[in-house]
Every structure is written in structure tokens, then in C-alpha cells.
């Protein structure tokens, strides 16, 4: 393969790897925002703090999406307490819908941190974070959208490819907390783009 072709292939792979995956089955009406409750995210088992980080980051960016209004965090915490649940994010879909109805929410967001690898400077490659999330309609139980994204994976691969220069890239690379913000922002933007596209059809 000639160098220009190789470069083009690498760029195509890079762009694909950086795009969040979203599937939107129903678009909200901006004039009638959907009341949504974001439930605690299921943490990556080896890093229990990752669930709270994902919850905070995702809630912040989802709040910016037109067509959705967020249930107050205090109200959610109160219901979780009353139902004698914990903030672990380990809630099945049936229970999630029940909590959503108690809050008067039309939809509930369930999320999982599928991978959370903190940056460890010279010992390991840069941080990597993977998130999945879905919005469930509390009236029908149907999934209205699903989304997932990974940040840091490609850079981790390049770190080893260009070693020892990759060590410098590791030291100055984003932390896992930063990657969590980037992943949540990427998913939010991808959802906004797809929702806008479907509204224009």
C-alpha cells in the first residue's frame, strides 16, 4: 500500500474510532420537553468511583440537549433513599421504570461504565473510558435511544506504536476524569446531531 493510501486509511480509522455510536428511535418535541431522570450509573467493578463520575458528567451534558428537562437530583436521591436502594447504579430496567414513575418522569436514563482505566504515567498507557447509556420510556418500557462511546483507546495503541516517544504522550495525556467528560460530551453531541437530523426529515 502506498503511503498516501495508508495515511488515508489511518485517518478514516481514526475518525470512525472517535465517533460515538447512537441509535434514536424517538425524537423529543422541543416545545414539550420530556421529563427525564438520570439514574446512578453502574460503576466499573474495579473502580467504584467511576459510576459517580459518569453520572455527574452525563447529567451535565444531557441537560444541554433540547427537548429534555431533568428531574432534580435531590428528588431522585430522596426516592432512592425511600426505596432503600443504594447509589451503586445496579438497578434493573423494571425498577428503573418504577422509580421514574414515582418521580413523575417520562423517561429514565440507565448507564454503565464498561471500562475505566486510569492514567498511570510511565507504567501503563493513557487513561481509557467507555460508557453505554439508554433512555427508557416509563409509560411503554421501550428504549427511545441508546448510545455508547470510548475515549482513549486509539491513543493507547499509538503510545506503544511510537514508543519511547509515547511515554511523553502518556504523561501529558488526559486523565480518566477528563476522558469521562469527553466521552459524555461526545455522546451528547452525537445524540443532538442525530435528533436534529431526524427532526429535519
DSSP 66: T
Which residue did the predictor score with more confidence, 130 or 127?
130
Mean pLDDT of the chain: 81
Asked whether residue 189 carries a pLDDT value surpassing 90, the answer given is yes
Q: Are residues 23 and 153 in contact, defined by beta-carbon separation less than 8 angstroms?
A: no
Q: Which of 19-23, 33-37, 187-191 has the lowest mean pLDDT?
A: 19-23
pLDDT at residue number 127 = 84
pLDDT at residue number 16 = 40
pLDDT at residue number 161 = 55
Asked whether residue 83 carries a pLDDT value surpassing 90, the answer given is no
First to last CA, the chain: 40
- pLDDT tens for 88-99 read 666 788 889 999
Asked whether residue 192 carries a pLDDT value surpassing 60, the answer given is yes
Q: Which domains does the chain have, with CATH numbers?
A: 22-199 (3.40.50.10610)
* Cα 196 from Cα 185, distance rounded (Å): 16
The answer to whether the bond into 164 is cis (omega within 30° of 0) is: yes
Could you tell me the pLDDT band of residue 145, with boundaries at 50, 70 and 90?
Answer: very high
Question: Percentage of the chain surpassing pLDDT 70?
Answer: 75
Q: What is the pTM (predicted TM-score) of this model?
A: 0.81
Q: Is 7 exposed, middle or buried (0-12, 13-18, 19+ CB in 10 A)?
A: exposed
Identify the residue whose cell numbers are 418504577. Answer: 98
Asked whether residue 164 carries a pLDDT value surpassing 80, the answer given is no
Amino acid at each position: 500500500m502506498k503511503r498516501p493510501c495508508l495515511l488515508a486509511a489511518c485517518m478514516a480509522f481514526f475518525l470512525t474510532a472517535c465517533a460515538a455510536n447512537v441509535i434514536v428511535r424517538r425524537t423529543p418535541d422541543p416545545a414539550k420537553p420530556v421529563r427525564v431522570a438520570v439514574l446512578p450509573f453502574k460503576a466499573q467493578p474495579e473502580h467504584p468511583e467511576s459510576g459517580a463520575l459518569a453520572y455527574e458528567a452525563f447529567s451535565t451534558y444531557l441537560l444541554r440537549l433540547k427537548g429534555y428537562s431533568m428531574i432534580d437530583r435531590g428528588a431522585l436521591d430522596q426516592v432512592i433513599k425511600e426505596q432503600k436502594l443504594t447509589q451503586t447504579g445496579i438497578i434493573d430496567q423494571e425498577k428503573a421504570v418504577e422509580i421514574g414513575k414515582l418521580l413523575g418522569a417520562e423517561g429514565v436514563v440507565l448507564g454503565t461504565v464498561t471500562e475505566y482505566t486510569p492514567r498511570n504515567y510511565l507504567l501503563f498507557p493513557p487513561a481509557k473510558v467507555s460508557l453505554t447509556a439508554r433512555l427508557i420510556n416509563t409509560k411503554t418500557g421501550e428504549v427511545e435511544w441508546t448510545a455508547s462511546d470510548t475515549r482513549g483507546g486509539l491513543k493507547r495503541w499509538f503510545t506503544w506504536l511510537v514508543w519511547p516517544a509515547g511515554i511523553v504522550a502518556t504523561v501529558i495525556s488526559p486523565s480518566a476524569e477528563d476522558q469521562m467528560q469527553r466521552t459524555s460530551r461526545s455522546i451528547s453531541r452525537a445524540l443532538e446531531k442525530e435528533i436534529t437530523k431526524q427532526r429535519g426529515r
